[in-house]
A and B are shown apart, each in its own frame.
Chain A
């Protein structure tokens, strides 16, 4: 187990910048998530840690040691992939045994290790199956097992859940968290799914154009997004952003010039009522979501999403009143999008 550090790491492919002077400390045993939109370079960051790609500049450390010139096979990290990446020509036993054999473990010592890991992941009866014969969930368990079996200093997980259907996704997600809690192995996990990130992470780094927009614990990320990008990216449904002018002299602005402010309101904090105080908006549609109903409303050409107040009667075309507590509003600089502290 080891801490992982990025020190002013830069990496680009042609015109695409994947990392621009990125610095970051991941603590020993931490579950760390890189969260970012598709194509922003999340996989490449993992490849940099694994040694598949080399940084153009900067240093990567694992357990304090400079990884410059250390090839992937000697970095002792393990990877889990979205596509599972099981070796199709080997059966489950062969897949699980592969990393052990590469480290020179003798034949007789391999079998008990493999059987123990397989049993722990509920794969006991499948050792003779080829990957093609397994279901998606079973494949991802094998992939987890292959990473786990040699107790690497760190797990690198590249969207391991995104090929699974909704039920399996939750199941394997719990499995991953359980494995982390049981073994305490430093885990670097990348995903574009903020919900997944929130559920798993000790800390999350939100990536944007090769830089870290914000790096914090999930709750802090949600409660105090550092800019409008993070604010929109973290939390579902995404936060409503509206020009400060719309709020006029609302107490939430704290006396700031409305024109210089973008206000952010989470749909959860915005209640749509059929009368009373609040912003007057026209209802566009209703989205029942089980325990509550979302109201999409329009106000001066800006679409807002709000929670339907219990007992309120609203239909498309009706006028709704959108109310919120003064403390619920997030304020951002209208120019830079950066968070303004109250």
Chain B
């Protein structure tokens, strides 16, 4: 392919990917008056009033904290349970492992709306509605199929001989898992953890239906239900959007190689 055309194409791809977010970024630092008309495109002066407003006027900090707690705990839970199960499937080879893996993959395709009504009733009955614990359990459960599948793939890549060596060198199955398999699976754990964290951070439907107050409400719900009395506060929404976007985007960019590995391993292997 001819070079200039290639670079033009790549530039267009970058622009297309970044433009909406950059526009939101500009919006978030424009003085309110300049949001009333277009043009001008660029802000006459950069202001942080919208950012101040969401933290002062709305409990945005609480939303962030909730999101962090729920996503981090759910990720830890999914990683812990998922790596144990992935290890057992990949290295202990129980009879019925193919069927188990198939069931796990099937569960990962479950549409969230299909289980939102039962989960609402079950969470109410268990007293877990509008609690962080409830959300953590639901998120971990929903991320688990992906975690099990990815970890099984990564553990399959670790030679059997290493597991066998650990066993004859004096480890129980669990000991071999902790002392040998887990240290070797760190790249896999990172990739899986990143995907699960981003998945939980971005989740909306369960957060919307299983929370009803600031006690457990997460950032996406806060942004979707952004309060506005008469008109929509676009500047503040933009500011909230930028903040909500930073953690997953920063993770995706910093750990780009791991995320790509996880995305493609999840979809292509098997």
A, B in one complex: yes
* Residues of the B chain whose Cβ atoms lie less than 8 Å from the Cβ of A82: 161
> Is residue A81 contacting chain B, with contact meaning CB distance below 8 A?
yes
- Annotate B181-197 by CB proximity to A: 1 below 8 A, 0 otherwise: 00110000000000000
> Is residue B56 contacting chain A, with contact meaning CB distance below 8 A?
no
* Residues of the A chain whose Cβ atoms lie less than 8 Å from the Cβ of B164: 47, 50, 52, 72, 79, 81, 85
> Is residue B180 contacting chain A, with contact meaning CB distance below 8 A?
yes
Q: Across the two chains, which residue of chain B brings its CB closest to A75?
A: B168
* Residues of the A chain whose Cβ atoms lie less than 8 Å from the Cβ of B184: 88-89
Q: Check if A83 sits within 8 Å of B159, measured CB to CB.
A: yes
- Annotate A71-112 by CB proximity to B: 1 below 8 A, 0 otherwise: 111010111011101011100000000110011000000000
* Residues of the B chain whose Cβ atoms lie less than 8 Å from the Cβ of A71: 167, 172
Give A84 Cβ to nearest chain B Cβ, in Å.
8
* Residues of the A chain whose Cβ atoms lie less than 8 Å from the Cβ of B161: 81-83, 85
Q: Check if B175 sits within 8 Å of A73, measured CB to CB.
A: yes
Candidates A73, A83, A87, A88; contact of B168 at CB < 8 Å: A73
CA of A81 to CA of B172, assembled, Å: 19
Give B141 Cβ to nearest chain A Cβ, in Å.
31
CA of A72 to CA of B163, assembled, Å: 11
> Is residue B48 contacting chain A, with contact meaning CB distance below 8 A?
no
Q: Check if A78 sits within 8 Å of B167, measured CB to CB.
A: no
Q: Check if A73 sits within 8 Å of B165, measured CB to CB.
A: no
Q: Check if B165 sits within 8 Å of A85, measured CB to CB.
A: yes
CA of A85 to CA of B164, assembled, Å: 9
Tell me the count of chain A residues lying within 8 A, CB to CB, of chain B: 24
A-B interface pairs (CB < 8 A), number: 59
Q: Check if A102 sits within 8 Å of B168, measured CB to CB.
A: no
> Is residue A146 contacting chain B, with contact meaning CB distance below 8 A?
yes
Q: Check if A89 sits within 8 Å of B168, measured CB to CB.
A: no
- The winner among A51, A72, A103 for most chain B CB atoms within 10 A is A72
> Is residue A18 contacting chain B, with contact meaning CB distance below 8 A?
no
Candidates B168, B171, B175; contact of A79 at CB < 8 Å: B168
CA of A289 to CA of B218, assembled, Å: 78
* Residues of the A chain whose Cβ atoms lie less than 8 Å from the Cβ of B170: 73, 99, 102-103
> Chain B interface residue count: which class?
10 to 19
* Residues of the A chain whose Cβ atoms lie less than 8 Å from the Cβ of B179: 98
Give B147 Cβ to nearest chain A Cβ, in Å.
22
Candidates A73, A81, A103, A146; contact of B167 at CB < 8 Å: A73
> Is residue B169 contacting chain A, with contact meaning CB distance below 8 A?
yes
* Residues of the B chain whose Cβ atoms lie less than 8 Å from the Cβ of A88: 184
Q: Check if B183 sits within 8 Å of A78, measured CB to CB.
A: no
Q: Check if A77 sits within 8 Å of B162, measured CB to CB.
A: no
* Residues of the A chain whose Cβ atoms lie less than 8 Å from the Cβ of B165: 79, 81, 85, 87, 146
Give B19 Cβ to nearest chain A Cβ, in Å.
44
* Residues of the A chain whose Cβ atoms lie less than 8 Å from the Cβ of B172: 71, 73
* Residues of the B chain whose Cβ atoms lie less than 8 Å from the Cβ of A252: none
> Is residue A314 contacting chain B, with contact meaning CB distance below 8 A?
no
Candidates B162, B168, B171; contact of A78 at CB < 8 Å: B168
CA of A72 to CA of B179, assembled, Å: 16
Q: Across the two chains, which residue of chain A brings its CB closest to B167?
A: A72
Q: Across the two chains, which residue of chain A brings its CB closest to B180?
A: A87
CA of A71 to CA of B92, assembled, Å: 13
* Residues of the A chain whose Cβ atoms lie less than 8 Å from the Cβ of B175: 73, 102
Give B230 Cβ to nearest chain A Cβ, in Å.
61
Given A79-B164, A89-B183, also A102-B171 (CB < 8 A): yes
Q: Across the two chains, which residue of chain A brings its CB closest to B173?
A: A71
> Is residue A230 contacting chain B, with contact meaning CB distance below 8 A?
no
Q: Across the two chains, which residue of chain A brings its CB closest to B164?
A: A52
- Annotate A48-80 by CB proximity to B: 1 below 8 A, 0 otherwise: 001110000000000000000001110101110
8 tightest A-B CB contacts, nearest first: A102-B170, A85-B161, A72-B167, A99-B169, A85-B165, A89-B183, A81-B161, A79-B168
Q: Other CB < 8 Å A-B pairs besides A78-B169, A99-B169, 16 of them?
A: A50-B167, A71-B167, A73-B167, A78-B168, A81-B161, A82-B161, A85-B159, A85-B161, A87-B165, A89-B183, A89-B184, A98-B169, A98-B179, A102-B169, A102-B170, A102-B171
CB within 8 Å of B: which residues of A? 47, 50-52, 71-73, 75, 77-79, 81-83, 85, 87-89, 98-99, 102-103, 146, 156
CB within 8 Å of A: which residues of B? 159, 161-162, 164-172, 175, 179-180, 183-184
Can you list 20 A-B pairs, Cβ within 8 angstroms, ordered by A?
A50-B167, A50-B168, A52-B168, A71-B167, A72-B167, A73-B170, A73-B171, A73-B175, A78-B168, A78-B169, A79-B164, A79-B168, A83-B161, A85-B161, A85-B164, A87-B162, A99-B169, A102-B170, A146-B165, A146-B169
